[in-house]
Chains A and B, each alone.
Chain A
Amino acid sequence: MTQNVRCLIKFVDPQLKRDEVVTEVHYLIDDLCDLEGMGQTRFEKVSEIREADPIGVGVKFETDAERLGAILRRLRYRLYYRPIDTLFFFQASDLNLQIQTHRAEDLLGLLDIARSGLLFSPACDYLAEAETYSRTQGELSPTELDNLNLLRQRLGLSVEQADDLNAKATGPYRTQAEKRRHFEDITQAEFSRLRTLAAGQPLAPKDTWSVLQELAENLGLPIPTAEAIYQQHQQRYDDDNLNLLQFTSGSAEAADLGAVIPTEIESQTQAQADLDQYRSLCRQTMAEALYPSEFDQGRLAQARRLHTISLEEASTIEAAVRDELYGSIESATGVDYNRLRELLHQQAWPAADLETEVVMLQALNHDMQPVTAATVQRLSPVDLATIDALWSRYSNGRFGFKAQQQVYRGQQPLQSDDHKRWAVFEETLGWREPSSWLYQGFKPYYNLTFSLEAPPGHLPTWRWCCVSLGHRYSPSPEAMEAVMAYLNDCMPLESAMTALDPIAIAGEVNHAS
């Protein structure tokens, strides 16, 4: 009964590249192993010298003649999808068959010949055909069923036998619809598990797909169908998460994006909506911290990809939002005030005071030499205003140059003597103690008060016009005079104007009305 057939399959297509041949052989063996009862077959690779190196160009194996039909059908199926010139050689006891072809139909002829000359298992043959059908469509179509019916009659199988074999070929989920449904159920379950596991994680993990893909293969559900289902679910999952993140409107428009036909105008408004959405996400991630956490950065990167926003656009938006939320850091001299802003935001007063010196001396661009009466006017008003605004913002107006101006303005009329005036100014700011005949009252810089309990205007210190700080913090009166005069030039106090020049203010009111 058992008769062995020796088979040899070799790829001879000259256009096939080396590594392509290797892959093809690999898949061929996979495909053949996949067949019913072929698990134990020993496959031997056929090597050939090509370009001086041996290379596996085919496969040689021995199998039961009963399985030949099934093998031929599988090979036919392969050729149908990938017509590669291949040499097939079958050798039974009294029969040698050899054919070189890339056409699937040719194998069918071979099958007939084989059937006539060899012992043959009708059941195997039938099953191979049913499986082949089932693999392509995911179910047996009426035509295919009819074909199978004809084959059943030709092979002399009973209806029950054929039904059994059909069921075996299609697996537990008979129709494609059933498979689809099953696959959808599983995908759904997978994503609801994800939701509970990683609540709020915006990106669906990539490895989910690979597992589901395996499931689809096992089910016999065509991969494109499965992938469509998966992507639908993944999109829903990602959207849900993004919608959760975005409390502004706008998001509904984005969800509809797939539905609208993208015309010129619509794509423009869409781009605008994308930017708006990104901006609102930025606001949200920066609501708590000046710089988004690693997690939020992930969210931003995800949103950036989703809305197809370029990196430059994104960083412009981020900077704008940061300015809006945490104060502008405009500079006329190209100095970076990011660090100062961050330190002030953290209320790290001593570090912020030091950073103020650094940025001011950098803005002065004078080899980090301290500010003097002669050089103070080289400071840009824009930069001074930025520094003042940051200090004022994070101390609720307690600190900053304006606060210092106000203190000065408040006590200016009381003192006529220049030297005394500056001493009183320093005392009011808490920069020194009242002096006596024995004691000048200077404090070391490090004994100043670096907290919100300090007197108004205490910070930022004017350490940037000091030559030493360690044993006493005392800007020279000349420097203080010049700095204060320049501050008044750069950022005049409105309230002071009312007090000093009522006529000018009246003029302004008239102008306004």
Chain B
Amino acid sequence: MQASVSNSELDASLSELTLLLKDEDWEAADRLTADILLLAVEQRLHSGERLLQDTSASHRPHLTAETLATIPCQLLYALDSQWQGASGGHFGFSTQLQIYTEILSSATFDPALRNWATPHPFFESVGWLMLFPVRPLGFLRFYNWLEFDLEAPKGHLPAMWYWHLPGMASLRLGGFSTGQGAGFGDLARLDAMMLRMTRCQQLGG
């Protein structure tokens, strides 16, 4: 369906991911997963796909809400099934989606409250919150402080796709060019990824 997915560079990365996941090198696998997503976004740009917004502003693409919404479903499937398989369903986008939907349908959390002190329950559930004296409640961990083993909470990984942010965006969210680290969670990006997963599932894959 998507010609870009069958690209050799992507294929090579995907088989490398398989090896990393097999070795349970979760951190390297996580970084590679984000790179693969970025690569797919980059390829779309080169193939002349017009994206929604200011991609011209910075030539280096990022996983914004807009670009996340156009990631090929096939690629998402491929990445997710690798994570699912290697972790026995503990990690992966669909695990995260499952947690996200459960929270959405059950919790009393109101995203409209705009209360900085009340982080989205999703962050708490997957263990992304700092909960540490460096920063008060509601801030996310530095990437290095995430747990890269199966003891981590369910849905903890993959995380790099979320942490990878341009410096300015990081500052806006309260971090200091540390991606999502020490910043507030960007709800738009989180929701964009989850919405993308939901839409891809509608394809009936």
A468-B195 in contact (CB<8A):
yes
- From A361, A444, A471, A472, contact of B199 by CB (8 A): A361
Residue B42, interface by CB 8 Å: no
Chain B: how many interface residues by the 8 Å CB criterion? 28
- From A358, A368, A372, A470, contact of B111 by CB (8 A): A470
A468-B189 in contact (CB<8A):
yes
B72-A467 in contact (CB<8A):
no
Bound Cα distance from A64 to B195, whole angstroms: 93
Bound Cα distance from A367 to B191, whole angstroms: 18
Nearest-CB residue, chain B, relative to A465: B52
- From A361, A374, A447, A468, contact of B202 by CB (8 A): A361
Contact size range, A: 20 to 34
B112-A374 in contact (CB<8A):
no
A368-B202 in contact (CB<8A):
yes
- From B53, B69, B187, contact of A369 by CB (8 A): B69
Residue A345, interface by CB 8 Å: no
B68-A368 in contact (CB<8A):
no
Residue A370, interface by CB 8 Å: yes
Bound Cα distance from A478 to B202, whole angstroms: 26
Q: Mark A461-485, 1 if CB is under 8 A from B, else 0.
A: 0000011111110001011000000
A358-B112 in contact (CB<8A):
no
Nearest-CB residue, chain B, relative to A445: B191
Nearest-CB residue, chain A, relative to B73: A367
Give A430-469 interface residues, CB cut-off 8 Å to B: 443-444, 446-447, 466-469
Bound Cα distance from A469 to B73, whole angstroms: 19
Given A367-B72, A447-B112, also A472-B52 (CB < 8 A): no
Count chain B CB atoms within 10 A of each CB in A466, A470, A479 and give the residue with the most: A470
Chain B residues with CB below 8 A from A370, complex form: 69-70, 199
B111-A467 in contact (CB<8A):
no
SS class, residues of chain A in contact with chain B: loop
B73-A467 in contact (CB<8A):
no
- Tell me how many residue pairs across A and B have CB atoms closer than 8 Å: 70
| Nearest CB on A from B138, distance (A) | 14
Chain B residues with CB below 8 A from A361, complex form: 199, 202
Nearest-CB residue, chain B, relative to A447: B112
Chain A residues with CB below 8 A from B111, complex form: 444, 446, 470-472
Chain B residues with CB below 8 A from A478, complex form: 52
| Nearest CB on A from B200, distance (A) | 6
Nearest-CB residue, chain A, relative to B50: A374
Residue B157, interface by CB 8 Å: no
- From B1, B52, B112, contact of A476 by CB (8 A): B52
Residue B2, interface by CB 8 Å: yes
Bound Cα distance from A372 to B70, whole angstroms: 11
Residue B150, interface by CB 8 Å: no
B187-A470 in contact (CB<8A):
yes
Q: Mark B1-32, 1 if CB is under 8 A from A, else 0.
A: 11000000000000000000000000000000
Chain B residues with CB below 8 A from A443, complex form: 112
Bound Cα distance from A476 to B72, whole angstroms: 22
| Nearest CB on B from A343, distance (A) | 14
Bound Cα distance from A467 to B65, whole angstroms: 6
Bound Cα distance from A374 to B203, whole angstroms: 22
Bound Cα distance from A469 to B100, whole angstroms: 13
Bound Cα distance from A110 to B202, whole angstroms: 85
A367-B195 in contact (CB<8A):
no
| Nearest CB on A from B71, distance (A) | 9
Nearest-CB residue, chain B, relative to A444: B111
Given A467-B66, A468-B65, A470-B104, also A368-B192 (CB < 8 A): no
Give B105-132 interface residues, CB cut-off 8 Å to A: 110-112
Bound Cα distance from A447 to B111, whole angstroms: 9
Give A344-375 interface residues, CB cut-off 8 Å to B: 357-358, 361-362, 367-370, 372, 374
Known: A362-B202, A471-B111, A471-B187. 18 other contacts (CB 8 A): A361-B199, A367-B2, A367-B72, A367-B73, A367-B203, A368-B200, A370-B70, A372-B50, A374-B50, A444-B110, A466-B195, A467-B69, A467-B192, A468-B65, A468-B195, A470-B187, A470-B190, A476-B52
Q: Could you list which residues of chain B lie within 8 angstroms of chain A, going by C-beta atoms?
A: 1-2, 50, 52-53, 65-66, 68-70, 72-73, 104, 110-112, 187-192, 194-195, 199-200, 202-203
- Pick 9 A–B contacts, CB within 8 A, sort by A: A361-B202, A367-B2, A370-B70, A446-B111, A447-B112, A467-B66, A467-B195, A472-B188, A476-B52
Q: Could you list which residues of chain A lie within 8 angstroms of chain B, going by C-beta atoms?
A: 357-358, 361-362, 367-370, 372, 374, 443-444, 446-447, 466-472, 476, 478-479
For the complex of A and B, list the 3 residue pairs with the smallest distance between their C-beta atoms, beginning with the closest: A470-B191, A471-B187, A467-B69
